[in-house]
Amino acid sequence: MGNTALAGTTATPNAVSDEGNALFAKPAVQCERRPDGSMILSSGHALGSVPSSIGALLERRAVSDPDRVFLAERDASGAWRKVTYDQASRAANAIGQALIDRSLGPDRPLMILAENGIDHALIALGAMHIGVPVVPVSTAYARLSQDFGKLRYIYDLITPGLIYVDEADRYAKALETIGATRLEIVASRGKLGAHALTPFSTLAELRPTPAVDAAFARVGPDTVAKILFTSGSTGQPKGVINTQRMLCANQESIVAAWPFLAARPPVIVDWLPWNHTFGANHNFNMMLRHGGTLYIDEGKPVPGLIERTIANLRDVSPTVYFNVPRGYAALLDYLEKDEELQRKFFERLDMLFYAAAALPQSLWDRLEALARKVRGRPVPFVSSWGLTETAPLATIVHYPIDRPGNIGVPGPGIQVKLAPVSDKLEIRVKGPNVTPGYFKDPEVTKAAFDEEGWFKTGDAVRLADPADPVRGLLFDGRTAENFKLLSGTWVNVGMLRTAVIAAGAPVIEDAVVAGHDRDEVGLLVFPSLAGLRSLCPELGAAARLDDLLRAPAVRDALVRGLSHHNAQAQGTSMRIRRCVLLSESPSIDANEITDKGYLNQRAVLTKRATTVERLYTDPPPPEVILIN
């Protein structure tokens, strides 16, 4: 074993503002360097007392802040429907009684197929209150899928005792196809053909009996709170067991690093889906932990829905704003043109946060420029890293940074191991936030942990400063996604992808890097419809993708951006020599994309093998664009 040293006494990394320093706990990292080249990093901050359950957090807030608004959503008239902490607690207890009456439990969980909404939140809280696992399933599996294969797989695996849907009509075909209509289905709205439905309101109106208190008393840290399914990027989705300890410990780790959250109740406007760990475990539970208010944003960062997000942000000024890079890109197109929206957005904003994908430098610069314009200084903009299996946060930025890419240091109470794997360092995790395993899959569970009990993530990182771990970690792609060119030169896919997306703006929305065992690096480009339309105003605001892809202005912009990137790149492994613009969106059924919009590089290359072959055909076919 190597020596352990406290590495938290250096200056705050990349300091850009006193405001940021006031928000965060000063980073401190303990680092053990081992003879095998691995490193063990842990936080120098202690983890506070961890509540026993999410239900305990709800009951605490119902007593301390009964009349504070917990959740708000738009109703049919466009007004805000609001629920206080006291009302949420009463509803959760009533719903708990309804689920007890139906004999739900660990072997008969609650399956949820719904968008974010108050009823969704209340039935999930009611289930967790009495120890019934909640299984929120991506609505994309019922809306965007053609064969409902993933939905059927999940349904057969978990054998739910009850299904909740928000809009019954919306999921009627999917539920019928997978045979779920034989179960009781609770719905907030709509009909299910000839099948009977139970109105959600009847559950929330029940009077709790002592059985609810007895069930609540039995819920503890090891109780399964949720089964969250990963996106199934390499096969069928895996059911990740999330215990009450995982969820509660994660929130205590966050507040130990971000003490400003305890200074005033946070307010967020958030669209991130609750079947995913970012939206549910991180954001939703953060409001519950701190008595905050969550305005449910029914919008999404896509044309036709981003307008709803903008309307919500005109009404509500958040104190913290969470999003993914694609969401910030969509938001900026509106923010930059509307000074009143700028003022409302930045009015009381303490912090901006991004996660789940690499943020292009161009987006960072645009947001910082707006903050300086409105506030006279940047708003702290930070990130973190984690997985569904870590509930989600494992590392956290709790210091000001001046550029994207830094994913922070281990959260309080959490350890990470940087283990050499090929030419990279895989990040592995231990802590109270780590899953005990995968639902009904002992073999996959066993394979997920190394011989010392560290959870193997498959993600790679590197130290921002090899001599000073307190300066944080940089995400370095997946351990298995890099490849070699015919020359034997390694291509760092994660780093290159981030760079070319930024260089190819506004044409590129996302991209897949190709070139394994080839002479040069190529690119499959998923274009940005909004970006292409901005380049071709003469084609109209409703121009079709096929027409835009034929426009000379689009090709010219892409060639110009990637040529500029190539001129600055170091070595052949960082230069794009050929690319193709794709007209077919990534397929969720083929595992090319998750419900959150993240590309699976390997699946795209496999499904589009013919396109890859054409990309490298010489002479190149008309659709292939050559880059100098």
Domain end (from 161, 190, 219): 219
Please name which of 57, 51, 136, 112 lies closest in space to residue 89, comparing C-alpha atoms. Answer: 57
Contacts of residues 374-380 at CB distance under 8 Å and 24 or more positions apart, as own/partner, are 374/342, 374/343, 374/345, 374/346, 375/346, 377/17, 377/19, 378/16, 378/17, 379/19, 379/346, 379/349, 379/350, 379/351, 379/352, 380/16, 380/17, 380/19, 380/20, 380/23, 380/24, 380/350, 380/351, 380/352
Domain end (from 174, 196, 219): 219
Task: Classify residue 607: in a domain, yes or no.
Answer: yes
Domain that holds residue 575: 483-626
Task: Classify residue 584: in a domain, yes or no.
Answer: yes
> Residue 83: what are its φ and ψ, rounded to 5°?
-130, 130
Domain end (from 202, 219, 236): 219
Using DSSP bridges, classify how beta strands 521-527 and 576-581 pair: parallel, antiparallel or unpaired: parallel
pLDDT tens digits along 173-224: 999 999 999 999 999 999 998 899 999 999 999 999 999 999 999 999 999 9
The reported pLDDT for the residue numbered 5 is 35
Report the CATH number that the domain containing residue 559 is assigned in CATH. 3.30.300.30
> Which of 276-280, 409-413, 485-489, 504-508 is predicted least confidently?
485-489
Q: Return d(Cα 588, Cα 603) in angstroms, integer.
A: 10
The reported pLDDT for the residue numbered 356 is 67
The reported pLDDT for the residue numbered 19 is 59
The reported pLDDT for the residue numbered 326 is 82
pTM of the model: 0.86
Residue length, the chain? 628
Task: Classify residue 409: in a domain, yes or no.
Answer: no
What does the block give as tokens for 104? 């739900």
Query: Into how many domains does the chain fold?
Result: 2
Task: Classify residue 550: in a domain, yes or no.
Answer: yes
The stretch 2-24 carries a mean pLDDT of 48
Report the CATH number that the domain containing residue 178 is assigned in CATH. 3.40.50.980
Contacts of residues 585-589 at CB distance under 8 Å and 24 or more positions apart, as own/partner, are 585/526, 586/526, 588/140, 588/141, 588/144, 588/145, 588/150, 589/145, 589/146, 589/147, 589/149, 589/150
Beta partners for residue 583, in sequence order: none
pLDDT tens digits along 382-402: 999 999 999 999 999 999 999
Task: Classify residue 471: in a domain, yes or no.
Answer: no
Task: Classify residue 364: in a domain, yes or no.
Answer: no
Task: Classify residue 617: in a domain, yes or no.
Answer: yes
> What's the mean per-residue pLDDT of the chain?
92
DSSP helix/strand/coil, 625: strand
Task: Classify residue 433: in a domain, yes or no.
Answer: no
